[in-house]
Each structure stands twice: as C-alpha cells, then as structure tokens.
Amino acid sequence: MIGSKPAAPPTTQERTQPRFSLRTTLLAYAFLLPFLLLLGLYHTWPVLFGTYLAFTDYNIISPPRFVGLHNFQLLLHDDQFWSGVVNSLKYLLVVPVLQLLSIGLALLVNRPLPGIGFFRTAYYVPVVTSFAVVGLIWTWMYQQDGPVTFLLQHLGLMKDPHSLLNDPGSALYAVMFVTLWKGIGYYMVLYLAGLQGIPKDHEEAAMIDGASRWQVFWHITLPALRPTVLVCSLLSTISAIKVFEEIYVMTQGGPVGSTYTALFFTYSRAFQDFRYGYAAAAGLVIAVISLIFGAVNFRLTRGGRSDA
C-alpha cells in the first residue's frame, strides 16, 4: 500500500530470544516431576501435616480432635518450653565465633603450600564423622579424669576436677564447643570456595599500591565474600536454634535442665509423652522463631552491601 511504512526489522533481542515449543516445555516439566513429587512427599506434606496437628490434641491413642489455639495457649504458660527457647537462643553465641574461625581457617589453607591438601582434609574429617561417635569421644574427654579437665586444672582454670557436662554452669557451653569443633570444617570449605572465586588481580593491584594485608582483606576480600558470609551465617543461625543431636547424645537435656533446648522439648513431648499435637505446636513456634532470626541475620548481613 502506498504510504505505508515497511515493517521494522527484528531487534537483536528478538532474534536471540529462544522460542520454546509446547513439546519442549512439557518435556522439561516431565523431567522436573520426579523431583517435585519427592519434594512434596518428604518436605511439603510433613510441614502441612505438622501444621494441622498443631491445632489438634493428637496423642497416638485417639484420633486427632481440633482444639484451635489451645496448644499455643499452653505453650505460653509452659516454663520448661521457654527455658528451652532461652537455651536455644544462648546457642546463637556459636554463630559469630564459628564464622570468624571458619574465615580465618579458610584464609590459612588458601595458600599453595606443600601438603596443604592434607590439612584441608583433616579439618573436614569431623564434619563427616557421625555425631554419635563425636559425642561419645567428647563426653569421655569432658569426664572428671578426662584430658580436658586435666588441661583446665593445670592451667589454673578449674580448682576441683569435675565433669563439665555435670556442671549446670558449664554444660551448655561445653556442648557449644563441640558444635563449634564439628562445624568449623564445613564452613571452612564454603569460605575457601568463596576465596578461590575472588580475582587475584584486585588483591595484587592493592598490594602494589601499598595496601597492607589487613587493608586488602577488609576492603577487597571481605566485601567479595559477603554472599558467602550471608549463606553461612544464615545456615548456622537456623542450625543453632534447632540444635538437637549434640544435646541428645551428650546430656539428654541435663543437668537440671541446663542444656534443655526448644527442639529437645519438642522431642520429649512427642516421643516420651506422646503428645503429638502439643509437640507439633512447639515445633511450629520454633520454626517461626528460626525464620525471624534468619530474616534478621539476612538483613544485618546485607545491610552494608552496596547497590552498585
């Protein structure tokens, strides 16, 4: 037609944009389907069913009966539960220490030295060791005649020899140290991967310009590690609040409830008292607390991140 404008040629973005056929899309979803089914079976369904049980009085003998918020009202006045929550929050002291030591250890093994692979492996061995084994070993080491007690006594830090796990004032911190010892290798590997992903050109240029090693670490290395710090601190925060294995193997919540955590409270109500509805309510509260602290940790870690 006279006066009509010719159609504009397709842009580069339009030419390079992939076009998926219906068959390709269905095939992709077919490959994803087994994973989605497993995710729903082993993750989504237990979460939904546990949330449902939290509003019932299920006790394995009689069928679940809806009780509304009654379980949560009981939790508000359950001193043992809140004592467990306080102990779980105390466990958060592990998080900053664990991150600092893991970063320091990753910096030490991130060097092309002879035999450095051996040390990387040695630091990771506790991570893959069963906590049943780790707990038994450290329980023996903490005994009255164990090596830890012997060392503390000769350093003048302990007057009367006694088991640290039998002392209400030290039991929780003794278990915290075991968590620290076992977990440091795991986070070291994550930080090591982050360090090896940082271009060496930036650090070398800063060193040539006269920057000290501390300045290079603070202004170049640490900002580049921020995504790794975010992931590691988030994982360790949630793990600290939900600590269970250490308590179960080493102290069973004692002595005098000094290591009785919120998740151990949930375990006791479910598998000792068979009050599954009440235990599910406690688990739901713990999940909410974990999400809150995880969100706060996420916010604080991202707080200094530049948008540039």
Give tens-digit pLDDT for 191-213: 999 999 888 888 888 888 888 88
CB atoms within 10 A of CB 133: 11
Q: If DSSP codes are grouped into helix, strand and coil, which group holds residue 66?
A: strand
Give residue 211's pLDDT.
84
d(CA 295, CA 138): 33
Give residue 307's pLDDT.
43
Q: What is the DSSP letter of 212?
A: -
pLDDT tens-digit series, residues 134-177: 999 999 999 999 999 999 999 888 888 889 999 999 999 999 99
Give residue 18's pLDDT.
55
Collect the ranges in the chain with pLDDT lower than 70: 1-20, 303-308
Give residue 138's pLDDT.
95
CB atoms within 10 A of CB 265: 27
Instruction: Spell out the domains of the chain, with CATH numbers in brackets.
Output: 73-302 (1.10.3720.10)
pTM exceeds cut of 0.75: yes
pLDDT tens-digit series, residues 107-129: 999 988 888 888 889 999 999 99
Give residue 306's pLDDT.
44
Of the candidates 241, 223, 199, which has an alpha carbon nearest to the alpha carbon of residue 94? 241
Q: What CA dihedral angle connects 228, 216, 181 and 246, to 10 degrees?
A: -30
Rounded to 5 degrees, φ, ψ at 191 are -70, -35
